[in-house]
Structure 1
Amino acid sequence: MVTQKAVNPADGVGIAYRVLGDGPPLVLAHGTALSSAIWRAFGYVAALREQFTLILPDMRGHGRSDKPHEPASYAMDLVVGDILAVLDEVGHERAHYLGYSFGARVGLSLAVAAPHRLRTLTAGGGSSRPQAGSFDKLFFPGCIDVLDHEGMTAFLDRWNAHRPWPLDPATRAAFAANDTRALVAYLRRSEQEPGIPDDALGSLTVPTQLFVGAEDRPRLSDTERLGALIPDSRLAVIDGFDHATTVAAAPEVLAVVRPFLEAH
């Protein structure tokens, strides 16, 4: 599986991506501080590659993509442009899209900005709300300053102490692999995101599947709200998982996602 790069024409940032499988195109977009490697590690690639052409981008600032250190480089319109640049590079006018957490926020924004590029939207653990304070709720209060001034090890230790059960080794390793300066820039810019207007979500016509972990306290209500706003959307609440662990629960997620994709 060869890593390639697409360039966002708006600012020249290179977005690493991989393509594998066979069938209709499906973009898999990961969450904060992770990379496209999670889709293989958690079993999504093995489960989906026979049915879909999987397009696996590393979001800007993550994985093998370029990692600017300026917060302005992480504006949502630029990140949406990254996904469009990858689709253009691989020659697909329209694709299915599955995103988790940050990837879900990008997918929702993409569906509003360029609905004609999506066959379907699947958004897990996402939010359309203004993002100020969201990372303090997801991780722990003051998390960005801890990462900025004390480093990744202190961030992970503090996050682990705030969780009801310990961080799994794979998530810890994925976070530790990040460029800390780029991640801080991304987090600080994300805190400024105004969110997506309710009327824009209420006008969406892209077939939409939503899912969220039942123990995902920060995002359960946000996802339920999305379900109320997006016309004809489906909502699945997956028992036994929080925000960090839902995406790792591939069998449970795919039991929701696969029938939805097959129906479209």
Structure 2
Amino acid sequence: MESFSRNGMRFDVSDEGPVGAETVVLLHGFPQSARSWIGVSRPLLAAGYRVIAPDQRGYSPQARPRSRRAYRLDELVADVVALIDAAGAERVHLVGHDWGGGVAWMFAAMRPDRLHTLTAVSAPHPRAVVKAMLTGRQAWQAWHVGFFQLPWLPEAAIRSRDGRLAVAMLERSGLDAETARAYVDRLSTDPGRLAAALRWYRAMPLDTCVGLGTGAVTVPTTYVWSTDDIAIGRRAAELTGRWVTGPFDFKVLDGVSHWIPEQAPDELARYILERIRSVAPTT
């Protein structure tokens, strides 16, 4: 499968591994793409799983609605349902990083009937984030969320000085220089990609599903957090388990930044496989 469609939009997809095998779906975050999962995919494929990674709404050129309301979480969850249907899978193992993790949490709360397991990476449960914002430093650490909701200024900042400011900020957050430059160049040169990616943030004030609207998760879940994540503090990470009623593991990667799929792909793949194998036989 190279693509799937929903409501007149076409989403680009990386689909590898044997059709009919248990399926792992990988959801990227900002400002990434399906390619951010390459290092994680290899061990999953070697273990015999089918691995599907879409370029999500706004990142696929033919799936870029202009309205910010189109980027609410219920729409993003519905995109994943359409992907799973197109893949011919009844249930999948869902993995999400950053914004993809936010979608994965909401998907697990809304559609547990379509999941075997959940592995959330970096992004805590939304209600844990809200709690940490009220009682800790999380609001300060997530300053970029408010900044990205401003009109035109984020686009100007990311494009300024040929993207050097944005590259420097990504490097400061722990991403390597080559990958940071590739992400910024694609945002700047792919028409409409930057504005569409920022609509994920700009839709947040319109989204009744954010924060306290996210329910508890009943499926077997692993949450992976890293100590050098400048955007997600320890308190939000440690609170996450309160909103998982199914089997739950909290994994901590010491000395790793927010960019876990790029920086620690083998360790992340190991945690994903541990979660998968806790509920299903090895394929």
Q: What is the aligned residue count?
A: 255
TM-score normalized by the length of structure 1:
0.84
Q: Which residue number in structure 1 is paired with residue 13 of structure 2?
A: 17
Question: Could you say what secondary structure the match of 2:104 adopts?
Answer: helix
What are the Cα deviations for residues 103-129 of structure 1, in whole angstroms up to 9, with x where unaligned?
A: 111011001111100000000111314
Is 1:46 the counterpart of 2:42? The answer is yes
Change (3 A) 1:77 1:134: farther
- Cα distance in 2 for partners of 1:62, 1:250 equals 22
User: Which consecutive aligned stretches of 4+ in structure 1 deviate over 6 angstroms post-superposition?
Assistant: 130-136
Aligned pair partner of 2:87 in 90, 97, 106:
90
Whether contact under 8 Å (2:109, 2:214) holds in the other structure is no
Aligned pair partner of 2:108 in 90, 106, 111:
111
Question: Could you say what secondary structure the match of 1:169 adopts?
Answer: helix
- Cα distance in 1 for partners of 2:45, 2:99 equals 23
Report the alpha carbon displacement of residue 221 of structure 1 after superposing the two structures with TM.
2.6
Counterpart residue type for residue 229 of structure 1: W
Whether contact under 8 Å (1:152, 1:180) holds in the other structure is no
Question: Could you say what secondary structure the match of 1:200 adopts?
Answer: coil
Q: Which residue number in structure 2 is paired with residue 6 of structure 1?
A: 5
Change (3 A) 1:236 1:89: same
Change (3 A) 1:250 1:200: same
Runs (5+) with no aligned partner, structure 1: none
Is 1:121 the counterpart of 2:105? The answer is no
Q: Which residue number in structure 1 is paired with residue 219 of structure 2?
A: 206
- Cα distance in 2 for partners of 1:234, 1:4 equals 33
Q: Choose between structure 1 and 2 for higher RCO, CA contacts under 8 A separated by at least 6 residues.
A: 2
- Cα distance in 1 for partners of 2:149, 2:167 equals 11
TM-score normalized by the length of structure 2:
0.79
Report the alpha carbon displacement of residue 199 of structure 1 after superposing the two structures with TM.
7.8
Report the alpha carbon displacement of residue 246 of structure 1 after superposing the two structures with TM.
1.8
Q: Which residue number in structure 2 is paired with residue 234 of structure 1?
A: 249
- Cα distance in 1 for partners of 2:83, 2:73 equals 16
Q: Which residue number in structure 1 is paired with residue 202 of structure 2?
A: 188
- Cα distance in 2 for partners of 1:252, 1:67 equals 33
- Cα distance in 1 for partners of 2:139, 2:2 equals 32
Whether contact under 8 Å (2:97, 2:121) holds in the other structure is yes
Report the alpha carbon displacement of residue 65 of structure 1 after superposing the two structures with TM.
4.9
- Cα distance in 1 for partners of 2:66, 2:179 equals 25
Whether contact under 8 Å (2:158, 2:166) holds in the other structure is no
Question: Could you say what secondary structure the match of 1:247 adopts?
Answer: helix
- Cα distance in 1 for partners of 2:95, 2:276 equals 10
What are the Cα deviations for residues 114-149 of structure 1, in whole angstroms up to 9, with x where unaligned?
A: 110000000011131478997972658735543234
Root-mean-square deviation (CA), in Å? Answer: 2.9
Whether contact under 8 Å (1:6, 1:16) holds in the other structure is no
Counterpart residue type for residue 2 of structure 2: T
Is 1:216 the counterpart of 2:223? The answer is no
Runs (5+) with no aligned partner, structure 2: 188-192
Whether contact under 8 Å (2:173, 2:257) holds in the other structure is no
Is 1:157 the counterpart of 2:130? The answer is no
Aligned pair partner of 1:175 in 176, 184, 187:
184
Q: Which residue number in structure 1 is paired with residue 155 of structure 2?
A: 148
- Cα distance in 1 for partners of 2:221, 2:10 equals 29
Counterpart residue type for residue 28 of structure 1: L
Is 1:100 the counterpart of 2:97? The answer is yes
- Cα distance in 2 for partners of 1:247, 1:234 equals 18
Counterpart residue type for residue 154 of structure 2: L
